[in-house]
A and B are shown apart, each in its own frame.
Chain A
Amino acid sequence: SQQGEEDPQALSIQEGENATMNCSYKTSINNLQWYRQNSGRGLVHLILIRSNEREKHSGRLRVTLDTSKKSSSLLITASRAADTASYFCATDAFGRGGADGLTFGKGTHLIIQP
């Protein structure tokens, strides 16, 4: 079953605008990760945030984590056409010893209009 659920399912914005995607999950986690997937290719790791962290930055990416609401958000600033891709959140659940591996949501498909 899916642990993380991204919202929205699809997002289309103009180049240069900021894009925000949200992820909600159900159980306690050790960490939450965001990945990007270009069409028909493998996933690329973007950023990892641990359960005791609230915010993390990497270049144009900003991730927040609210464990009380079991939610995370990914902000991409100053979007570029090359950011067009699907974005997935993945959770590593607490106390399960990684028994289910990372659990991925169904993703947000982001389209950047030139």
Chain B
Amino acid sequence: KAGVTQTPRYLIKTRGQQVTLSCSPISGHRSVSWYQQTPGQGLQFLFEYFSETQRNKGNFPGRFSGRQFSNSRSEMNVSTLELGDSALYLCASSLGSRDSPLHFGNGTRLTVT
């Protein structure tokens, strides 16, 4: 089975711009979660989508949004980028039950200048 695929791998954007990150989950996985990882804050939960519906949401401003398509692929959008948005953004897919382990992609490294 192919793993979780995230594109692009690296991204450099300017403050004020917007960015869209993409995630293709493992085949058969209906849950996709997004995490932000920074040296200072560690891994922080952004949101989770299950069957095209946002099921859970972390404590991030409305500039961070996402969606999931019928084939379970997910996109995450960040508008009006700030320097503090520079981070590794990780996507993880799972079967969606409480005890389902998360399968992570290798992330998108976003640098905001």
Tell me whether B58 and A44 are in contact (CB under 8 A): no
Would you give the 0/1 interface string for A12-49, flagging 1 where the beta carbon is closer than 8 Å to chain B? Answer: 00000000000000000011010100001111110010
Q: Is the CB of B56 within 8 A of A43?
A: no
Residues from chain A with a CB closer than 8 A to the CB of B57 are 99
> B22-52: contact bitstring with A at CB < 8 Å (1 yes, 0 no)?
0000000000010100000011010110000
> From residue B48, how far is it (CB to closest CB) to chain A in Å?
6
**Interface members, chain A 42-100 (any B CB < 8 Å):** 42-45, 48, 50, 88, 92, 97-100
Interface residues on A, range: 20 to 34
Q: How far is the CB of A62 from chain B (nearest CB, A)?
A: 18
User: Which of A31, A44, A50, A102 has the most chain B CB atoms closer than 10 A to its own CB?
Assistant: A102
B81 at the interface (CB under 8 A from A): no
In the complex, the answer to whether B56 meets A31 with C-beta atoms within 8 Å is no
Looking at B13-21, B61-69, B71-79, B95-103, the stretch in contact with chain A turns out to be B95-103
Task: Tell me, yes or no, whether B87 is within 8 Å of chain A by CB.
Answer: no
CB atoms of B104 and A101 under 8 A apart: no
| Complex Cα spacing A82 to B104, Å | 19
**What's the tally of chain B residues with a CB closer than 8 Å to chain A?**
25
Contact A42 B104 (CB under 8 A): yes
Please count the residue pairs between chain A and chain B whose beta carbons lie under 8 angstroms apart in the complex.
61
B46 CB, min distance to chain A CBs, angstroms: 8
Give chain A residues whose Cβ lies under 8 Å from the Cβ of B47: 101
Q: Is the CB of A107 within 8 A of B42?
A: yes
When C-beta atoms are compared, the residue in chain A nearest to B91 turns out to be A42
- A2 lies within 8 A of chain B by Cβ: yes
Which chain A residues lie closer than 8 Å to B92 at the CB level?
Answer: 42-43
Interface residue from B42, B48, B99, B109 paired with A101 (Cβ < 8 Å): B48
20 A-B residue contacts at CB 8 Å? A30-B99, A31-B98, A31-B99, A40-B88, A40-B106, A40-B109, A41-B107, A42-B104, A43-B92, A48-B101, A50-B99, A98-B55, A100-B45, A100-B56, A101-B48, A101-B56, A102-B45, A104-B42, A105-B42, A106-B42
